[in-house]
Amino acid sequence: MLSNKNAVITGGGRGIGRAIAIEFAKNGASVALIYGGNKEAAENTAEEIRGLGVRAEIFRCDVSCFDEAKRTVDEILKEFTHIDILVNNAGITRDGLLLSMDEDSFSRVLDINLKGSFNMIRHLYSHMMKQRKGRIINISSVSGLMGNPGQANYSSAKAGIIGLTKTVAKELAGRNVTCNAIAPGFIETDMTGSLSEKIKESAMGAIPLKRMGKPEEVAKLAAFLASDDSSYITGEVIKIDGGLYI
């Protein structure tokens, strides 16, 4: 489904990013994995991808830094010559009630989750526009749609990603570049693994399907949006949440 395509995935070493990278590779795409700090996880993911017979390279980058993101994009383009797919998945959480949330906790989450997505799109914008094709997939969250107590920073960033997605979709549609967002609910990752049992039980009670999603389920949706089969879909926010936010 993705043969002869090159994909860039931020936060590609673990969790949802890792699952997307492997799913893309299974469908024939070569992958550039961007990681922020865990080089070992990124390299392990790259090795698994190489075992599938496709190319994988890792690149360290703080996506929240405009200039560093540009240098990384330039380096990837030098290595891969063209990029067909961008997945903005890099994200962090610093949860806490708004009453006690400090400025750094708010700013840093927006810098990585939202500004990082802008930076990557900004530096690949001209490239995709000139080649008259491309797929941009932004990982948002149901928290950005419905809000979540203790996540004023995260919900704001994920809501911002939705606005960014719709704007980019309108700007690039004339150049055959689509931009869509995926909004996962509770997915089995390191991030949700750190939640208390009480919070997990509460979540299960609110999810009609009565289970958490798997990263591989998000990855299959991403692969569809990255493929030619999704060519008439742009500006959409697709929830994958087991019915949590209906």
Provide the annotated active-site residues. 154
Give the distance, in angstroms, between the CA of residue 129 and the centroid of all CA atoms in the same chain: 21
Q: Where in the chain does DSSP place strands (E)?
A: 6-10, 30-35, 56-60, 85-88, 134-139, 177-184, 237-240
Q: 201 is written with which tokens?
A: 């039980």
What is the SS3 string spanning 72-131? Answer: HHHHHHHHHCCCCEEEECCCCCCCECHHHCCHHHHHHHHHHHHHHHHHHHHHHHHHHHHH
> For residue 185, with 0-12 CB atoms within 10 Å meaning exposed, 13-18 middle and 19 or more buried, which class applies?
buried
Q: Are 24 and 2 in contact (CB under 8 A)?
A: yes
d(CA 221, CA 204) in angstroms, rounded, equals: 22
